[in-house]
Amino acid sequence: MALSRLTSRSNGISRPLSTAFGRFISTDTTPITIETSLPFTAHLCDPPSRSVESSTQELLDFFRTMALMRRMEIAADSLYKAKLIRGFCHLYDGQEAVAIGMEAVITKKDAIITAYRDHCIFLGRGGSLYEVFAELMGRQDGCSKGKGGSMHFYKKDSSFYGGHGIVGAQVPLGCGIAFAQKYVKEEAVTFAMYGDGAANQGQLFEALNISALWDLPSILVCENNHYGMGTAEWRAAKSPSYYKRGDYVPGLKVDGMDAFAVKQACKFAKEHALKNGPIILEMDTYRYHGHSMSDPGSTYRTRDEISGVRQERDPIERIKKLVLSHDLATEKELKDMEKEIRKEVDDAIAKAKDCSMPEPSELFTNVYVKGFGTKSFGADRKEVKAALP
Amino acid sequence: MWGILRRSAVDGGGGFSASSLRRTRFALVSARSYAAGSKEMTVRDALNSAIDEEMSADPKVFVMGEEVGQYQGAYKITKGLLEKYGPERVYDTPITEAGFTGIGVGAAYAGLKPVVEFMTFNFSMQAIDHIINSAAKSNYMSAGQINVPIVFRGPNGAAAGVGAQHSQCYAAWYASVPGLKVLAPYSAEDARGLLKAAIRDPDPVVFLENELLYGESFPISEEALDSSFCLPIGKAKIEREGKDVTITTFSKMVGFVLKAAEKLAEEGISAEVINLRSIRPLDRATINASVRKTSRLVTVEEGFPQHGVCAEICASVVEESFSYLDAPVERIAGADVPMPYAANLERLALPQVEDIVRAAKRACYRSK
What are all long-range contacts of A355-362, with beta carbons under 8 Å and residues at least 24 apart? A355/A134, A355/A137, A355/A139, A355/A140, A355/A141, A356/A139, A356/A140, A357/A138, A357/A139, A357/A140, A357/A146, A358/A138, A358/A139, A358/A140, A358/A145, A358/A146, A358/A147, A359/A140, A361/A386, A362/A140, A362/A145, A362/A146, A362/A147
Residue B31: the pLDDT is: 41
For B160, counting Cβ atoms within 10 Å of its Cβ (0-12 exposed, 13-18 middle, 19+ buried), the class is exposed
Residue B339: the pLDDT is: 98
Average pLDDT, integer, range B131-153: 98
Residue A6: the pLDDT is: 43
CB contact under 8 A, B99 and A209: yes
CB contact under 8 A, A148 and B104: no
CB contact residues (below 8 A), chain B span 6-35, against chain A: none
Residue B332, SS3 per DSSP: strand
Question: Above 60 in pLDDT, residue B205?
Answer: yes
Residue B48: the pLDDT is: 98
Question: Above 50 in pLDDT, residue B116?
Answer: yes
Looking at chain A, the whole-number percentage of residues with pLDDT higher than 90 is: 92
- The confidence band for B62, taking pLDDT boundaries of 50, 70 and 90, is very high
Residue A17: the pLDDT is: 43
Mutation target for B interface from A109, A140, A160, A177: give the one with most B CBs within 10 A.
Answer: A177
Smallest Cα distance from A129 to chain B, Å: 17
Other Cβ atoms less than 10 A from the Cβ of A304: the count is 8
Q: What is the pLDDT of residues B219-243, one digit of tens each?
A: 999 999 999 999 999 999 999 999 9
Nearest chain A residue (CA) to B135: A173
In single-letter form, the type of residue at position B22 comes to R
Q: How many residues does chain B have?
A: 368
- Residues B184, B276 contacting (CB under 8 angstroms): yes
Indicate the DSSP class of residue B186.
-
- Report the sign of the C-alpha dihedral through residues B161, B41, B63, B92, in that order: positive
Nearest chain B residue (CA) to A380: B319
Q: What ipTM does the predicted assembly reach? A: 0.92
Residues of B noted as catalytic = 97, 166
Looking at chain B, the whole-number percentage of residues with pLDDT higher than 70 is: 89
Distance of CA A148 to the CA centre of its chain: 17
CB contact residues (below 8 A), chain B span 48-77, against chain A: 62
Of A4-18, A244-258, A305-319, B307-321, the range with the lowest mean pLDDT is A4-18
Q: Strand pairing partners for B115?
A: B63, B151
| Residues of A in Cβ contact (< 8 Å) with B130 | 169, 172-173
Q: Of A195, A189, A171, which Cα lies nearest the Cα of A272?
A: A189
Judge whether B110 is closer than 8 Å to chain A, CB to CB: yes
| Residues of B in Cβ contact (< 8 Å) with A369 | 139, 144, 147, 202-203
Indicate the DSSP class of residue A288.
S
Residue B38: the pLDDT is: 76
Residue B366: the pLDDT is: 84
Please report, in angstroms and rounded to a whole number, the separation of the first and last CA atoms in chain A.
55
- Among B98, B105, B179, the residue with its CB nearest the CB of A206 is B98
Q: What is the pLDDT of residues B286-301, one digit of tens each?
A: 999 999 999 999 999 9
Instruction: Give the Å distances, CA to CA, from B53 to B49, B223, B225, B294.
Output: 6, 15, 11, 40
CB contact under 8 A, A183 and B62: yes
Residue B367: the pLDDT is: 67
Q: How many residues does chain A have?
A: 389
Average pLDDT, integer, range B356-366: 96
Please report, in angstroms and rounded to a whole number, the separation of the first and last CA atoms in chain B.
34
* Backbone torsions φ then ψ of B86, nearest 5 degrees: 85, 170
- Among B106, B178, B202, the residue with its CB nearest the CB of A370 is B202
Q: What is the pLDDT of residues A139-172, one digit of tens each?
A: 999 999 999 999 999 999 999 999 999 999 999 9
What's chain B's average pLDDT?
92
**Bond prior to A162 in cis (omega within 30° of 0):** no
Mutation target for B interface from A171, A179, A365: give the one with most B CBs within 10 A.
Answer: A179
Residue B368: the pLDDT is: 59
Q: What is the pLDDT of residues A316-360, one digit of tens each?
A: 999 999 999 999 999 999 999 999 999 999 999 999 999 999 999
- Among A155, A165, A173, the residue with its CB nearest the CB of B109 is A173
| Residues of B in Cβ contact (< 8 Å) with A203 | 96, 98-99, 102
- The confidence band for A383, taking pLDDT boundaries of 50, 70 and 90, is very high
- The confidence band for B365, taking pLDDT boundaries of 50, 70 and 90, is very high
Rounded Cα–Cα distance for residues B59 and B330 (Å): 47
Q: What is the pLDDT of residues B4-61, one digit of tens each?
A: 434 443 343 344 444 444 444 444 444 445 545 579 999 999 999 999 999 999 999 9
Judge whether B152 is closer than 8 Å to chain A, CB to CB: no
Instruction: Give the Å distances, CA to CA, from B349 to B172, B263, B333.
Output: 18, 22, 9
Looking at chain B, the whole-number percentage of residues with pLDDT higher than 90 is: 89
Cα dihedral A343, A349, A354, A359 in deg (nearest 10): 150
CB contact residues (below 8 A), chain B span 331-360, against chain A: none
Judge whether B112 is closer than 8 Å to chain A, CB to CB: yes
- The confidence band for A29, taking pLDDT boundaries of 50, 70 and 90, is confident
Rounded Cα–Cα distance for residues B254 and B247 (Å): 9
Mutation target for A interface from B103, B115, B129, B200: give the one with most A CBs within 10 A.
Answer: B103
Q: What is the DSSP string of B155-177?
A: E-S--SS--GGG----HHHHHTS
Q: What is the DSSP string of A214-264?
A: TT--EEEEEEE-SEETTEEHHHH-S---GGGTTTTS-EEEEETT-HHHHHH
- Among A154, A176, A202, the residue with its CB nearest the CB of B146 is A154
| Residues of A in Cβ contact (< 8 Å) with B179 | 367-368
Average pLDDT, integer, range B143-167: 98
- The confidence band for A12, taking pLDDT boundaries of 50, 70 and 90, is very low
Rounded Cα–Cα distance for residues B204 and B174 (Å): 11
Question: Above 80 in pLDDT, residue B2?
Answer: no
Average pLDDT, integer, range B94-120: 98
Smallest Cα distance from B43 to chain A, Å: 26
